[in-house]
Structures are given as structure tokens and as C-alpha cells.
Structure 1
Amino acid sequence: MFLPLFSSLVALPAVLGAALIPKDTIACVHNAANRSCWSDGFDISTNYYEKVPDTGVVREYWLNIENTTAAPDGFELPAQLINGSFPGPTIIADWGDTVVVHVTNSLQNNGTGLHFHGIRQNWTDQMDGVPSITQCPIAPGDSYTYKWRAVEYGTGWYHSHFYVQAWDGVFGGILINGPATANYDVDLGHIFLNDWYHYTADQLDSQAATGGPPTAINGLINGTNTYNDTLGSRFKTVFNANTRYRLRLVNAAADNHFRFMIDNHTLEVIANDFVPIVPYETTDLSIGMGQRYDVIVTAKDLASGNFWLRAIPQEACSETSAVDNVKGIIRYDSSSTADPTTSAYSYTDSCADEDSSNLVPYLPLNASDTYTYGEDEEVAVQVTDNALLWTMNKTSFRTEWENPTLKQVANGSAPFTAKQHVIQLPQANQWVSFVIHSPFAQDHPMHLHGHDFLILASGYGDFDSSLITQSSLVNAPRRDVAMLPASGYLAIAFRTDNPGAWLMHCHIAWHTAEGFAVQILERKSEIFIDRSQLDSTCTNWNKYVAAKDVTQHDSGV
């Protein structure tokens, strides 16, 4: 077993995970020429794990999830959408704001719950939106209100964490305004990249469990694309000469890893997930499922011209028949209707993360040689009742919708079952580590709720503790989704500074449903639980289950 070697060089306060700084003097003005500044003494150098602007602002959203049909590439099929749009509405706030999201379940035959992917939920674990972990599912006809602070800034997204519902269309963007590590003129917002199958998500999951992963028929960029050259339409946006544009890239795919590029243009990468990084330039960007990258693209000195914007599925780990069709168009003349004739940059087909030497957090956090806990997790598969299940340390994860972890914590219930795969971390503000091994020739995007983690080592073959050196501990890449290499290992570390029940799982849709997960119960005695909200949601869910004879077929998350 590998043990963690780390104690933080940064002391994090224990109240809401961050100290509040009252507004006083304005030290700088945030604008196109000075994006590193924010306001009131906050800038890109501020330690956002310790200090958060006290804005006093509440941003409120109302989201209604309903059954409908959609034809994002011209081929119509049943869908589940938020407020009738695909992707759903973008949640926009400023760093330090409070966000309130009212969710109504108007679906006919499904529960739901919204997870705010990348939001750390400091001391608000019950707002993480994971049915069977932090709440019971929201029953049809019922509503649920989520409330959390934007203690970080950058690009995130929200999606259903009920079964594989997200990939029927239940997702949207989160945009938290704040400082940046490079200047830009225009924020173009989210660019969602996702695969598309022409089948409902539950049909796809059934196929994955019994016959292997389904093949994506198409892919979408911001919810649109063409199909068979006759249906649908491409995503398009217009560049003005010499303007610097910020694009917020999100891989929202169920099971496709994308390589993003814009022909004849360079990408200046300024953030991975919710972590600002030292900018670097590249022509193409490897983006795993659940990952986000913020890039700046400088428009050329042109009055006209059309260029392909590409999301290329990486065949090393993606089942797809749409390798060259997931494209949008950058136009320099809005009146143009011509397709581009440009060519893609050359690249190596790979599902590996961006090189760690490029992913340097702008805010440096180091670690030393003190530890309290370490865990090895070995990935495997098993077949039960002719269905494939993923396991970690020989356990296929399963929790029950009607008995979420927080309910068990609140009730002081008997010990957790083995299938719940609960790892308890009772001590405060200690560094812990996990090493995940996989013998399979497939890369896996590993996502941890409630934390940014440090990536200490990642590679092919067997892990050895000697791979962790002193240099590995100095400002290691930090994010909330990292790729577990095919037939390889991923070593991560984080600090126990956020009480809660936190899921860690593979972000491939079918793998989560098939049990590729563990849950981390951090500082159980300090978790805040609103019993009224918890109990009323579970009561309504149990009434629905009894009336409709609902059966749970997946892992619960």
C-alpha cells in the first residue's frame, strides 16, 4: 500500500472552508486590459482556498426538468431537458456570490437530482446533488432547492446524477466570474462537447452492461451538429479581427474523449477545471469526460474566412463512428455561408491528460512528508447475471436511492454495507492519498466530489512509491477530474478540509452505473444536515416508489 507523504504548507480555516473579507478599498479594476485583477483587494494571486469576496449577492435560478423530444443533429428522439433547452440554462455568478437553484421534477417516470460538477460545496455537502449519497431522488412532481457559495471561480457544469439521465440532455453550464491569468476581450462562454447516440440513455446503459460500450453515432458542439450531411446544422460563431476570445470548454460526453482544436489558430490555456494555471500555448487540447479547460484564442487579422472548430473523438478509448464529423465553424464574415476548407493540425490519437509540466497552478500549493491515511484501489470487472460490473478492490459499488448516506449518518445507523464502499476519514485538515490501478487497456476519467486534488503521479505500468519524489510535491497539477491511464496508475492527494460524503468515480456514464466508484465519508461528526429537507424529499420519493413499483437497476449514482 502506498501511504501519503504530505502535510500542507497552507493552513485552511475551518469555517465554511474560507474566511470572508469585507468590502473596503478597491485596489484595481477588472477589465480587458487587466484580467488578473478582480476587486476589493482580490486578484489572481489571492488564495481562494482561504479568502472569498463577501459580495452579499444571491443569484437565483428556477430549473424545470421534463420529458420532451429533441433533434440536436436533425434526428428526433425522446429527451429529458431543462427548461426545454439543450444544453440547459447557464448558471452565472461572481466569485463569492451565493447561488440558489430551485429544481422541479416534471418528468413522467424518473427521479432526478442535480450535481454541480466542480463546485467544492464547502460545508454544504447536502447540496452536492447525488441521489443515494447526499439526498433521496427528487420524485416526479416534487421540488428541491440547492444553495451554495461560489468559493472558486472559472468554468464548471451541472448535470443529473440520477442513473444515466444526464446523457438524455439533463446538463448545463456553470460560469463563475473572477480573475484570470491572461487578458482577453470577449468571453464566449461554454463550448460543450458531447457524444450522441440516437438512442435513449437507459437503452445505451442496458447495452453497455450486456454487450459492451455502445458506439456513438454522432457528436455535438453546444447541442447541435449535422447528420448524414442532410440533417441538422453546425455550431457557428463569429470572430472579429485581432480580438482575444475566451472559450470555456467542457467535455460532457458519456463515453468519448475529445481532442479540441481550431484550424490555423493557437489555443492559450489558462485554466484546468476550476484551477487557474500558468498560461501555455498549444494547437490541440486533450479533454477527458467531465474535464474543463479555459482557453484564449486570438483572432487573425482577417475580414473574411472560415475555419473548422473540431472536437475529434480519440479512438484509443472512444467507441464512435463520427471521428471527422464533430465540427463547428468559426467565421470572420457573418454573412458567409460557405463551409471551411481548412485542415486539422496533426496530432497523436491518445486519451492521456495534457502533459503535467503544462498544468502548473498559478496559485502554488506544496506538501511535505506528514501523512494520516493512504489507500490503494485496484480496478477490475466481474459478470453477474449476464451483466458487467466494475469493481474497486473487488467491490462493485451500490447504494440505495431511498437510504442515502447522509440519512444513515443523521440516523446514526448501523455500519455501512461492503457494497457502499465507504472510506472514513475522521481527522481534520490532514493530507490523504489514493492510488488507483487499472490493468485494462482503457483510460478512465476519475472525478472526486468536494475537493480539488493534487496529481502526484500518473503513468503506464505498475505503480511504485519511489515515483513520488520531492519535486512531485511542489505545486503539483490540481483539479477535480484526471485520467487514469490505460493499464496504469493514478496517484492523488487531498486535504480533509471539507466535511461530507463525497463520491469518487469514473466519469464514463456506464462505468458509474456499473459500480466504478467509492465514497469518502469525511469528518462525519461535523457534517451539517438539514433533516427537514432530507426527510421530506425521502418521504415523497418513497411514496412515488410504492405507487409506481420502481426498481433500482444501477449502482445508485
Structure 2
Amino acid sequence: MLFQQVVGLVCCLSLVLAKTHTFNFTASYITANPDGVKDKKVISFNKQWPPPEIHINKGDRVELYLTNGLETKNTSLHFHGLFQNGSNFMDGPEWVTQCPIQPGDTYLYNFTVDQVGSYWYHSHSGAQYGDGMRGAFIVHDDKEPFKYDEEKVITISEIYHDQYYDIFGEFLNRYNPTGAEPIPQNLLLNDTANSTIYFEPKKTYLLRFINVGLFVSQYLYIEDHELTIVEIDGVYVEPFKASHLYMTVGQRYAVLVTAKDHKDKNYAIVQGFDDTMLDVIPDDLRLNATSYLVYDDEKPLPKEYKINDLAFNDYDLTPLDKEELYDDYDYQITLDVVMDNLGDGVNYAFFNNITYTHPVTPTIITALTASKEHVTNPRIYGSNINAFVLQPNEIVEVVVNNHDDGRHPFHLHGHTFQVIQKSKSFDDEPVPYDENDHEPFPKYPIRRDTVNLEPNGHIVLRFKTDNPGIWFFHCHVDWHLEQGLAAVFIEDPLSLQNQKPPQDFYDNCIASGIPIEGNAAGNKDFFNMTGENLQSQPLPEGFTLKGYLAFAISTFAGLYGLWSIIQYGLEDSVQYDEKIFNNLEKILHENNLIQEADQVAADAEVNEHTHLSRGEE
């Protein structure tokens, strides 16, 4: 009895001490010059850019009124890494857990935070946060398991000089059939180039690094200073000493750094692009950027410092609470990543041959308005969102096999996950996860909410279904999300129906002309999918990118043969031509392109014959 009274007193005391933080933000464009190279329009809050850091304590409530002042663009706001337990409708991604906020409208994000650590907030409407609509969100813990004298929040990102909507139009376009991602123009630290961080001798600093970029992973290094990692993605880890960090977009690291005991010199803070993620490297692109760790303003600043490709594996970390590997899974989801073209000529990203195409009404509305009989049936959520219905209190295993030669940082809303397998990259052929032949699982797997999938490799994740909601699982390279690399986990939708969104949730949808009940097609008959949004039709057989390349290479071989005959003469060039053609033939065979080219040519001949037989020219 006494124990219960003490617990009750502690709970009441926590409620009394908890604060409500109220923010009134109007998003609008202003002009800024973040890297000192070119002016661009950035998305400000209340005409201020960069947007402010948000600092709260565990147990506090946030009331954030977001007014869309972007005039012609929808918007939304996601709080990256926060579980939104009991407030799924505050998670933020439009078409998933809310309707888009229309220009001129205001939406209240209202939730309580029962987590600690390093997070961030950003727009979840297209690639909008690439224009600056993002900031740090820090949840302080009065029981932190480490000591330090001072804390500093440091964001890293890249910058595109053009607006995201202009870049997007050029990227997701049939004139970009390979899906080459837009190349950024520069690196930023704390939203500027050549930033300065001040240290005082003998102090210990907690540095919270947050990658708020759109695309490229970065290496981070502080000259002659050791980094001790103590937190990743809001999860405390056993202190781990590292010379540098490797951070995908969306990831966070908190590190302890002990300052020198003197002010003899200043040091370089170095960022480096992971240039293996870039299809091309323009001559004027800076792959490294140097900022400054300053002890003494009177001393010279460090010279430009280069960072090389360094090995770092977050798989080596151990959670501080030593939560053991979850028991064998109750349900397994296997997702195969492929990038390919559809009939409109555009290059898309696919999970299991489905490229995410948003529904007519947000998925959460379907879950909230379906009958109890139908709410657990994946059919009502549509055929084009990669919907998976999860039962409560189970262990779910997610296997992601990369059939692409690019890196993909995958982020799960509403949860952290255990990373129980994480392969290296592979150069030639994809290596899918083999459940019967794999590396031993770690006893205490790392937990985080954003993890890197290597080229042609695989990851295996496990989490508990203890948070009813509609949770997005997607690549956080925002260009890949725009290509459709996403799935939706519909977790315990029967319990989700007990959550009651506020009236402005529905008002927001009504203002957008979006149905506030119905299936993925917006129909009240939940099994009538008439009007559902669907991905484009596939390319006609034979008209694949591989086929085009095969045809191009074969054509080049023929033209080169004619050129060599003319250039060198029939007798003198035989040996030279044989060498060239042997090399070309080898390339074609190795890539299985000779048969592909023959088929394309045969198809072209059949098509020509068919057209002529119909009297066409």
C-alpha cells in the first residue's frame, strides 16, 4: 500500500513538473545565402532562418501551431524519431497520418514526449525540407548516464542552390531514365559554410550531431580529438571511442569530446561526402568541407583539411540497457529493393515490384473509419502502398534485400528496431539474406530508427508491435522516397480506433477536398477500389533500360567496325579490330546483353513488319 502511494506521488510530481511548450510557426519563403555562394529561397519560420532548435524535457507537452504561408505549396511536419504513442495522427507524413495542410491554413501538432535524446523535425511533403524546413528537436533527460560540462547541437546537411520543386521536376522525368539523383552543390554545418564551434580548455562537451540532409551520407571528423559515442537515434549506448562518424541522412549521434588543456592552436572540423553515392562528380563540387573548432580567436584558423574514406560500422555498438535479441519472429516481411522504369519512361523505386503511390484518402482515415470486421483486411488499404497489417504484441522481422547498387538509409516511424543483420556492400550481384546461412545474431543488437542498407546487400530488423498506428517505413534519401521507395505498416488497427483525432484533423482534410471516411480510393464501400491511385503501367516487353543499352552497344560496335575499316584499311587493322571486338563481345556476354540486343532487334523488325502491313509508314 505504501509503495503504491509513493508511486502515485511520483507520478503526480512528474505531472506537476512537466511543462507545455507552445510554438506559433508560420512557414514562408525568404532569401538566404547559406553557403556564401548563391542566394536561394529557403523556408523560414516567422521569417527567421534557420528554424529554431526545440528543447524540452522528458514528459513535456508540445503544442506547435503550424500555419502554411507558402502560398502555392502544401506542407506538413514530422517529428523524426518520436514514437507518437497514442497520438498517431500527429506523426506528420501527408497521405499517411494526415491530410496536407493547404496554403493559409493552420494545423496544431499537440503531443506529449516520453523519450529522451536527439531528434529533429522536418516537412514531410515531397522533398520540401531540402529548402530548409527542418530543425533539431532535443529531449533532455535529468538522469543522463554520462557527465559533461556543456552541450552543443550540430546539424550537417548538403545544399541545393535551386528549389526542390524545380529539381524534382527534372529528376522524376522520362528524360532522366536512369534515375540519377540530383547532385548537391555544397556541404553545410549548422546551416552555413565554414562554421565555427568554440571550445574552452579542459571542458567536456556533449555534441549532438544530426544529419538533416536530403541525400548524401557524410563522414565527420574532428582533427586530433577523440569522439566517444554515447547515444544513437535516441538510444543510449555503451561508450564507444571513434576517430570519426559516418552518418546517413536522418541519423543522429551524441558524442562526448574532451577539450585540450591548452589554447595553443585551433582545429579542423571536417565533413566529407560519401562520393560513392554520386552518379557523377562535377568539377566544381567540393567533396570535403572544413569548419573550425576554435580555442583562441587570436590564433590562425586551420587550413583546409581532407578526409579520406574511413571504415565505421554502427553494428559494433551495444545499447546501454543491454536489451537482448528479441525471440524468433512471429511475422516476417521481406522487401526487395529495385529501381526500374515504367511505361511513362520515368525511373521509379520499388518494394516487391510496387512503387508507393499515395491513396486518395490518408491511410489513417481508412483505419479509423473501417468496421471492426474489415479494419484488419489489407485489401481496404489499397494495392499500391505496400500495406502490411500487423497484429498486437508480436515480434516482426523485416528483411530488406537490395537489388540496387546504391545505398539506402531506411527509417521506421513509431519505433526503434533491433539491427540483427547488416551485410557489407557487394560490387557485382545482389546477395539476399539467407535465413539458413547467415552471420550469428548479436546478443545485444543495436537499436535505432534509421539504418544504412549497403549496395547489393541486405539488412534484417526486428521490433515489437507495442504502438498501435499507421507507420511509414521508407528510404530517407528523399529523392528515393519521391520515387516510391516506401511501405506502410498498419499496426494493431483495432486498438488504433480508440485514438480520437481532434476536429482540426478533419477540418484540414475537408479544406483539401479529401474524404474523411472510406478506403484507399475514398469509397465508403470498403472493397470497391474504383478510382484508386495506381502506379503507371509497365514498359512494353523488350523496352527495358537494359534492352536500350544492349541495342546502343550493339549499334556502337557496328559503327565502330565501319570506322576502323575506313581508318586503318582492311589488312592493317585486322588484329586491332579483333581485339576491340573481342572486348566488346566479352562485355556483352558478361552482362547478358547479346541476347537482349538480338531480341530488341527482332522485336523492332516484327513491329516494322506489322506497321507496314497496316499501311503505315
TM range (shorter): 0.7 to 0.9
Distance 1:77 1:355, change over 3 A: closer
Unaligned runs of 5+ in 1: 1-19, 26-39, 41-51, 226-233, 544-552
Question: Higher helix proportion, which one?
Answer: 2
Q: Which moved more, 1:96-105 or 1:320-329?
A: 320-329
**Match status 1:403 vs 2:368:** no
Distance 1:255 1:342, change over 3 A: closer
**Match status 1:220 vs 2:188:** yes
Q: Which secondary structure does the structure 1 equivalent of 2:380 belong to?
A: coil
**Match status 1:386 vs 2:345:** yes
* Residue 432 of structure 1, CA deviation: 0.6
Separation (CA, whole Å) in 1 of partners of 2:328 and 2:467: 19
**Match status 1:449 vs 2:413:** yes
Separation (CA, whole Å) in 1 of partners of 2:502 and 2:449: 29
Separation (CA, whole Å) in 1 of partners of 2:277 and 2:294: 31
2:93 counterpart (121, 130, 134): 130
Separation (CA, whole Å) in 1 of partners of 2:110 and 2:148: 31
- Counterpart mapping for 1:468-483 below 5 A: 472=441, 474-483=443-452
- Counterpart mapping for 1:361-510 below 5 A: 361-384=319-342, 385-400=344-359, 403-412=361-370, 415-425=380-390, 427-460=391-424, 461-466=431-436, 472=441, 474-510=443-479
**Match status 1:86 vs 2:49:** yes
Separation (CA, whole Å) in 2 of partners of 1:69 and 1:554: 38
Aligned to 2:28: 66
Unaligned runs of 5+ in 2: 1-5, 372-378, 425-430, 515-532, 536-617
**Matched-pair contact (CA < 8 Å) for 2:326–2:462:** no
Distance 1:104 1:22, change over 3 A: farther
- Counterpart mapping for 1:328-347 below 5 A: 328-336=291-299, 338-341=300-303, 343=305, 347=309
Aligned to 2:159: 196
**Match status 1:354 vs 2:317:** no
* Residue 467 of structure 1, CA deviation: 5.2
**Matched-pair contact (CA < 8 Å) for 2:66–2:108:** yes
Amino acid at match of 1:420: I
Q: Which structure has the higher relative contact order (CA within 8 Å, separation 6+)?
A: 1
**Matched-pair contact (CA < 8 Å) for 1:182–1:279:** no
Aligned to 1:16: none
**Match status 1:524 vs 2:493:** yes
Q: How many residues align?
A: 486
Amino acid at match of 1:132: W
Separation (CA, whole Å) in 2 of partners of 1:416 and 1:504: 15
**Match status 1:121 vs 2:84:** yes
* Residue 464 of structure 1, CA deviation: 1.2
Amino acid at match of 2:432: D
**Matched-pair contact (CA < 8 Å) for 2:384–2:534:** no
Distance 1:324 1:186, change over 3 A: same
Q: Which secondary structure does the structure 1 equivalent of 2:214 belong to?
A: coil
Aligned to 1:237: 197
**Match status 1:534 vs 2:505:** yes
Aligned to 1:250: 210
* Residue 372 of structure 1, CA deviation: 2.0
Cα deviation digits, residues 7-50 of structure 1 (max 9, x gap): xxxxxxxxxxxxx965549xxxxxxxxxxxxxx9xxxxxxxxxx
Q: Which secondary structure does the structure 1 equivalent of 2:53 belong to?
A: strand
Aligned to 2:611: none
Aligned to 1:34: none
Separation (CA, whole Å) in 2 of partners of 1:379 and 1:314: 21
Aligned to 2:577: none
Separation (CA, whole Å) in 1 of partners of 2:216 and 2:49: 19
- Counterpart mapping for 1:149-228 below 5 A: 149-178=112-141, 179-188=143-152, 190-210=153-173, 211=176, 212-225=180-193
Distance 1:305 1:554, change over 3 A: farther
Q: Which moved more, 1:76-85 or 1:150-159?
A: 76-85
Separation (CA, whole Å) in 2 of partners of 1:93 and 1:355: 27
Q: Whose radius of gyration is greater, 1 or 2?
A: 2
Q: Which secondary structure does the structure 1 equivalent of 2:458 belong to?
A: strand
After superposition, the CA RMSD in angstroms is: 2.5
Aligned to 1:231: none
Q: Which secondary structure does the structure 1 equivalent of 2:505 belong to?
A: helix
Q: Which moved more, 1:501-510 or 1:171-180?
A: 171-180
Separation (CA, whole Å) in 1 of partners of 2:508 and 2:363: 14
Q: Which moved more, 1:77-86 or 1:383-392?
A: 77-86
Distance 1:410 1:292, change over 3 A: same
* Residue 207 of structure 1, CA deviation: 2.9
Amino acid at match of 1:508: V
Separation (CA, whole Å) in 2 of partners of 1:241 and 1:128: 42
* Residue 88 of structure 1, CA deviation: 1.1
**Match status 1:277 vs 2:237:** yes
Instruction: State TM-score, norm by structure 2.
Output: 0.75
* Residue 335 of structure 1, CA deviation: 4.4
Instruction: State TM-score, norm by structure 1.
Output: 0.82
Identity %: 27
